[in-house]
Amino acid sequence: MIRSFGLIDVMYLVSAARWTVALTVTAFAGSALLGMVLAIMRILPFAPLRWLAATYIYVVQGTPLLVWLFLIFFGLPLIGISVNPWLAAAVAFSVYGSAFLGEIWRGALVSIAKTQWEAGASLGLSLAEQLRHIIVPQSIRIAVAPTVGFLVQLIKNTSLAATIGLVELTREGQLTAAGTYKPFAVYITVAVIYFLMCFPLTQWSRSLERRLDVAR
């Protein structure tokens, strides 16, 4: 039976958006943890670790996110590891996001003048102490704007989780469109909800970029 697209459907879509937010937060946390490790590995004075991190980043960045979703959701069960759509999406987005955050943060770290590193070394600070007390506090100002920009992209990329059956905003939109036969109205609503989630972050990112440029 075909039903009309009404307020109750909009509420279902808004409700589904909470899973988009939850997946984004989970994936960003995983991406940040892995990305931090990759960024540090990329600047260590130990070539094998740098090469390992670089290889990981090049492979992950060179592979579509959809492939990682399919590899984890459909591939792992083939070797006896069962994963639900939520876990598969969280892991896939974390793996994919870590390669990009790792490069963003590595770029921020190496952008600090070499004299800053030399000053820390002359004070007898270890690499970890140089990072903690001198380099990271300065690089945060450089990294924060592109990091927020990446977060916006991550929110939009979570729509791909619909391909493995995770009921987030896009998947709920597909189900609602199928039930109402009003795809245009449904997807316009979905687009508006994504916009309302992303636009404030985009503006915040631009504001931070301008503010930090002035601060420098």
- Residue type present at position 160: L
Rounded to an integer, the average pLDDT of 14-19 is: 95
Q: According to DSSP H, which parts of 44-164 are helical?
A: 47-61, 65-70, 85-110, 114-122, 127-130, 136-157
- Residue type present at position 139: S
Q: pTM of the full predicted structure?
A: 0.89
pLDDT at 115: 79
Q: What tokens does 185 get?
A: 């109205």
Query: Helix %, strand %, coil % for the chain, to 5?
Result: 85, 0, 15
Residue extents of the structural domains in the chain: 7-215
- Rounded CA-CA distance 4/180 in Å is 6
pLDDT at 214: 42
pLDDT per residue as tens digits for the range 49-92: 999 999 999 999 999 999 999 999 999 999 888 899 999 999 99
Residue 1 or 130, more confident: 130
Confidence of residue 207 (pLDDT cuts 50, 70, 90): confident
For the CA atoms of 167, 173, 178, 181, what is the dihedral angle to 10 degrees?
170
Tell me how far apart the 2 most distant CA atoms of the chain are, in Å.
Answer: 76
- Rounded CA-CA distance 206/216 in Å is 15
Taking 80 as the threshold, does the pLDDT of residue 149 lie above it?
A: yes
The structural architecture, per CATH, of the domain 7-215 is Orthogonal Bundle (1.10)
For tokens 């896939």, name the residue.
92
Residue 37 or 2, more confident: 37
Residues 6+ away with beta carbon under 8 Å from 136: 109
Q: Which one, of 141, 189, 182, 145, lies nearest residue 11 by Cα?
A: 189
Residue 201 or 128, more confident: 201
